[in-house]
Amino acid sequence: MVLLSTDQLPLERDEHIVIVRQTVRQRAVELGFSLVDQTKLVTAASELARNTIQHGGGGTARIETVNDGLRRGLRLTFEDRGPGIADIALAMKDGYTTAGGLGLGLSGAKRLSNEFAITSAIGEGTRVTITRWKL
């Protein structure tokens, strides 16, 4: 996979979520994603950015344009140094919440992407990476 460009953005305050959303939309438009796919990317980015701030105590968002030879896409990585997730399988279940929300953040982001990966360690933080390909 070839990395074509990268933006790394801070996620410390709610205003940073807006910047991440705008950057993801801009990149999606530049790549020629349909309006539906743009919306899916921005929605997933918004959920993951909010999780990074609310549950991880802040972190970073990395927005990458990638090419695997046959297609181009956006890879988004959200990383924090927060408390970590004790039970990833439970956290991925629709309706599971620790903050009183709908419990659709992680599972929703997975449904909105073509590729999804999550790693987490107690006391070290969490990293979620999603990719959406232009088909």
User: Which CATH number do you get for residue 35?
Assistant: 3.30.565.10
Residues contacting 19, CB < 8 A, separation 6+: 9
Show the domain range for 88: 2-133
Report mean pLDDT in 10-residue bins for the chain, 135 residues: 86 97 97 97 95 95 94 97 90 68 73 96 96 92
pLDDT, residue 56, reads 94
pLDDT computed for residue 99 by the predictor: 57
Predicted pLDDT of residue 97: 61
How many separate domains does the chain show?
A: 1
pLDDT (0 to 100) of residue 128: 97
Please give the pLDDT value at position 96.
Answer: 60
Q: Which residues contact 83 (CB under 8 A, 6 or more apart)?
A: 55, 56, 57, 122, 123, 125
Which pLDDT score, from 0 to 100, does residue 98 have? Answer: 60
